[in-house]
Amino acid sequence: MENMNEKREATTEVMAANPNKRLILKSIAIGIITLLLLIPIKMVESLIEEREYTARTAMKDVFEQWGDEQLIIAPTINYDLKVRYCHMEGNEKKYETYDRHVKLLPEELKINGTVNSQQLKRGIYEIVTYNAPIEITGSFVFSDEIVADFGRDISDENVQISISDIKGISEEIKLTLGNETYTLVPNGESMLSTKRFSAYVNLSQWKAGEKVPFKMVLNLKGSQSIKFLPIGKETVVSLTSNCHTPSFCGNFLPTTREVKEDGFSSEWKVSYVNRAYPQQIVGSVDASEFKESEFGVNLLIPVQHYQKTLRCVKYAELFVILTFVLFFFIEIIQKRRVHPLQYTLVGLALTLFYSLLLSMSEHIGFVPSYWISTIMTVTLITLYSVGVLKIRKTAAYIGASLFGLYTYIFILIRMETYALLAGSLGLFVILAVLMYLSQRINWSKAE
């Protein structure tokens, strides 16, 4: 026992005689603590991803029950034309027939809709859905060639409309074409995985060059987005909504749009020359050509607080390092002793900030959660610094520095275009301050 006490006293004397060695060992200890804190930081990242997955699963469940994103393909005229052709087998003529499917697209197409978004609750999650009364008007014009087909052997004459998710339909679909009104009934799959609704029409009643108007109203439910295909020779789509966070998507952007706090209004005008398929489609067309002409608006309010919290966690290591460097400089300048365990507790408090932010943002939103978590964390570390350093003024400086760092990170999270520039400049300033402070320390005599 006496030998052990003698060794400890000798080690203490050596450390006192060689302060640089103590600083080196302390720096190594701080580095090890920083590396160990990566474990809870990674655990928080995994927790954020897990909570985001749970939120998206809840959203998916509601979408499947209420109605998913909607793609509307407005009315088309369709028929199968029996074509007879001759070919030779040896010296003998053979005649065969086949059906040539013809799809006629509207000459004019106008779509007016009011997308009324609303929020549904699933547990703690708020999920955005919408009701959208859609009025579709326009006209067909039949050429001489098409009318000549009407007088031949045709079959499966119908008018049809296609919708991607039929759960969003709550009543019969009726379409007025010319002077008659038709009730459209489900009739299998259509292009782009949409569901076809069709009704038989007698095409022989129309003459060449005749303009045949149509009109229908869809009361549609859905979520996430509403999209259209520009199948008219001229397609005009006008939408208004109470959603104030629209994201216009697809191959065409609105020609006019206005986004306010109480909603948005937008209008698209698309000509047939802007797409890859003609007004009269004979046979099949590559689905990708239709897909490329989709346009519309995303109404889904994204679960942004998870992404923002995850972005905050990316700065966790920087927070820990800067805070530890600040404490380390204070140790040297004010000749205080901060035990490695105390460094660890401060690091855990910094890590706990992200757990607080995540849990509160699910209930009250990201911004208030951020500032509440900031105040709680800064207050905790400031009071702890008072107890450790015994100097209130220094503890206040630490608290102010941490609050400034959290404010700086909040600004970076809110920025998009200039986030990288602001982040680089901010880190440059912080490094410059640390370099300046390090010059004021006589490292050869530091204890």
Say what the pTM is: 0.69
Task: Look at residue 88 in the predicted model and tell me its pLDDT.
Answer: 62
* Cβ proximity of 122 and 58 under 8 Å: yes
Task: Look at residue 215 in the predicted model and tell me its pLDDT.
Answer: 94
- 238 bridge partner residues: 112, 267
- 8 bridge partner residues: none
Q: Which residues contact 436 (CB under 8 A, 6 or more apart)?
A: none
3-state secondary structure of 261: coil
Task: Look at residue 5 in the predicted model and tell me its pLDDT.
Answer: 52
- The residue count of the chain comes to 447
Residue in the block written with tokens 């000509």: 271
Task: Look at residue 7 in the predicted model and tell me its pLDDT.
Answer: 46
- 134 bridge partner residues: 113, 218
CA distances to 136, 261, 268 from 257, in Å: 20, 14, 9
Task: Look at residue 1 in the predicted model and tell me its pLDDT.
Answer: 47
Task: Look at residue 15 in the predicted model and tell me its pLDDT.
Answer: 44
Task: Look at residue 294 in the predicted model and tell me its pLDDT.
Answer: 92
What is the C-alpha to C-alpha distance for residues 377 and 371, in angstroms, rounded to an integer? Answer: 10
Q: Could you tell me the two tokens for 48?
A: 């954020």
What is the C-alpha to C-alpha distance for residues 178 and 183, in angstroms, rounded to an integer? Answer: 14
Query: 280-282 and 247-250 as β-strands: parallel, antiparallel, unpaired?
Result: unpaired
Query: 108-122 and 70-89 as β-strands: parallel, antiparallel, unpaired?
Result: unpaired
Amino acid at 229: L
* Cβ proximity of 226 and 72 under 8 Å: yes
169 DSSP 8-state letter: B
3-state secondary structure of 335: coil
* Cβ proximity of 245 and 64 under 8 Å: no
* Cβ proximity of 328 and 53 under 8 Å: no
pLDDT 10s digit of each residue in the chain, 447 long?
A: 455 455 444 444 444 445 567 777 878 888 888 889 888 888 888 888 888 888 878 778 777 778 888 899 989 988 887 666 665 666 666 666 667 788 889 999 999 999 998 877 776 777 778 889 999 999 998 877 777 766 666 777 888 898 988 888 888 899 999 888 999 988 877 777 788 898 988 887 888 778 889 999 999 988 888 999 999 999 999 999 988 888 899 899 999 999 888 889 999 999 999 888 888 887 776 677 788 899 999 886 655 778 888 888 888 888 888 888 888 888 777 777 888 888 889 889 999 998 898 888 888 888 889 999 999 999 999 998 888 888 888 888 888 888 988 888 888 877 766 667 777 787 788 788 878 777 766 665 555
What is the C-alpha to C-alpha distance for residues 297 and 291, in angstroms, rounded to an integer? Answer: 15
